[in-house]
Structure 1
Amino acid sequence: MEFSRFYQQAAARKGGEAAMKALLPPKPECERLREIGDDRYLSEITRCIFKAGFVWRVIENKWPDFEAAFEGFVPAYWQQVSPEVLERLADDARIVRNMQKIRTVPENARMIMEVAQDHGSFGHFLAEWPSEDQVGLLMYLKRNGARLGGNTAQYFLRRAGWDGFIMSRDVVTALTRAEILDASPTSKKGLTQAQHAFNQWHEETGLPISHLSRIVSFTVDND
């Protein structure tokens, strides 16, 4: 299916091409990924984990307190933090006191530190991973990190500025209607089907995959 059909539907729903373009995320830039500190990546991963299954607005409003409670999310510290520190955080009213999610911080800190040892920084690692293989990156994050399955890693990558798609409800609906997706959107098969379509549309249009993903979501009511 040519992407022009999605584009036309999206523009019609959003009130014209200019209105639609104003809603697109910033254009991804690999060099910006390299400039972000590893502490910011751990912070953003943690934010997305705490948002999963929770009211996003609450997490956003409390995030300055999260930053204070986790002392800036420095991976070198959190990779070897003692259990007692985690237990104190589970009683800290400044944050959402979910022990399972709190425990992801040292696990993901270790992943970031291991990656940094091989690539110089986590940002270099992300910048070097091609958008045409987002499925591979998602599998890596799920396998080596904590609670980075489902859509959590996809939202993290988008917020970090990496160029990828998000299998949101609207994107899944649009791809299913177009008979592009016939497997679970969280399965490797479903992700690969979506990846294949977005790669083709990227070659067709030259648009970033993050823009293609957002435009596809605009074709569905109640975006």
Structure 2
Amino acid sequence: MRKFKRIHEAAIKRKGGESKLAALLTPVASSEQLLGVPDERYLAQLTRCVFNAGFHWRVITAKWDGFEEAFEKFDIGRLLTKSPDEWEAYIEDTRIIRNWQKIQTVFENAVMVDEIAHEHGSFGKFFSEWPVSDQVGLMRYLHKQGSRLGGKTAQWFIRFTGKDSFMLTGDVVTALIANGLEINPNASSQRDLKKIQEAFNDWHHETGLPYTHLSKLLSYSVGDNVPVEVLTGYQGSQTVTA
């Protein structure tokens, strides 16, 4: 694989200089910040990412206040004590997207968050202590223990909480392959994910940069050159753990 310096230089050139690029490389959340996030906000973020899948994110953004109201601000105790009839009533609730399979994930992921909290003290403690160098393991865990957290949904959840992480967008995968990593274009097998994790670990040790920044720099080094002002607003609009 190439040294990361060349990738960084390509991103600087494409984004119009170091100062413009720096505006896109926002700080990642510290372990202390992640630890301080209440469990219900993690459930809210999980829910938002699940519902985003298959819908344009602006649709979910426009209805999000209704989600917060309908799901009791994601109070886990309240959600876990709702009766089956109360859950079925959400099918008629116009405050939310009335997709029954996704509505069920709110309960199922509330169970997961609650079980993790009982085992570790809080979901935030579990989540903040999971090593960044094993993001693939965290993704696998969330997929196995949670509901509809496969594919990129777990990746978006991790990213939108602010935890240091990489994203396997099309541009990131293209850049990984272009820079010498031998993986399939869909980058979904455990073999490919292991190689990707190792590449990010190596580049992190080489540069000292957060994984989030490494991932963004890879993305900015190839593909469509999306304007800086378009990119700056997206992540903040999706974060509900802050």
Aligned partner of 1:203 in structure 2 is 205
SS of residue in 1 equivalent to 2:26: coil
Give the aligned CA root-mean-square deviation in angstroms: 1.2
- Letter aligned with residue 203 of structure 1: H
Q: Work out whether residues 81 and 106 of structure 1, in 8 Å CA contact, stay in contact via their aligned partners in 2.
A: no
Matches of 1:123 and 1:16, distance apart in 2: 37
Matches of 1:48 and 1:181, distance apart in 2: 29
How far 1:179 sits from its partner (Å)? 2.9
**98-107 or 16-25, larger mean C-alpha shift:** 16-25
- Letter aligned with residue 144 of structure 2: R
Matches of 1:97 and 1:25, distance apart in 2: 34
Q: Work out whether residues 28 and 163 of structure 2, in 8 Å CA contact, stay in contact via their aligned partners in 1.
A: no
Q: Work out whether residues 200 and 211 of structure 2, in 8 Å CA contact, stay in contact via their aligned partners in 1.
A: yes
Query: Is 2:191 the partner of 1:185?
Result: no
- Letter aligned with residue 212 of structure 1: L
How far 1:186 sits from its partner (Å)? 2.1
Aligned partner of 2:147 in structure 1 is 146
- Letter aligned with residue 5 of structure 2: S
SS of residue in 1 equivalent to 2:73: coil
Matches of 1:71 and 1:181, distance apart in 2: 46
Aligned partner of 2:215 in structure 1 is 213
Aligned residues: 223
How far 1:70 sits from its partner (Å)? 0.6
Matches of 2:105 and 2:117, distance apart in 1: 18
Matches of 1:140 and 1:80, distance apart in 2: 25
TM-score, structure 2 as length reference: 0.89
How far 1:221 sits from its partner (Å)? 2.4
**20-29 or 194-203, larger mean C-alpha shift:** 20-29
SS of residue in 2 equivalent to 1:90: helix
Aligned partner of 2:127 in structure 1 is 126
Matches of 2:80 and 2:26, distance apart in 1: 32
Aligned partner of 2:234 in structure 1 is none
Q: 1:82 to 1:179 in 2, by over 3 A?
A: farther
Name which structure has the greater RCO, CA cutoff 8 Å, separation 6+: 2
- 1:4-28 per-position Cα deviation (integer Å, ceiling 9, x unaligned): 0110110010001111111123223
How far 1:189 sits from its partner (Å)? 1.7
Matches of 1:26 and 1:45, distance apart in 2: 21
Q: Work out whether residues 11 and 20 of structure 1, in 8 Å CA contact, stay in contact via their aligned partners in 2.
A: yes
Aligned partner of 1:171 in structure 2 is 172
Matches of 1:12 and 1:141, distance apart in 2: 37
- Letter aligned with residue 96 of structure 1: I
- Letter aligned with residue 105 of structure 1: V
Query: Is 2:124 the partner of 1:115?
Result: no
Matches of 1:80 and 1:180, distance apart in 2: 48
Identity %, equivalent residues? 49
Aligned partner of 1:34 in structure 2 is 35
- Letter aligned with residue 170 of structure 1: D
Q: Work out whether residues 79 and 107 of structure 1, in 8 Å CA contact, stay in contact via their aligned partners in 2.
A: no
Aligned partner of 2:240 in structure 1 is none
Aligned partner of 2:101 in structure 1 is 100
**88-97 or 18-27, larger mean C-alpha shift:** 18-27
Matches of 2:154 and 2:123, distance apart in 1: 14
- Letter aligned with residue 9 of structure 2: Q
Query: Is 2:136 the partner of 1:135?
Result: yes
Matches of 1:181 and 1:21, distance apart in 2: 29
Q: 1:81 to 1:179 in 2, by over 3 A?
A: farther
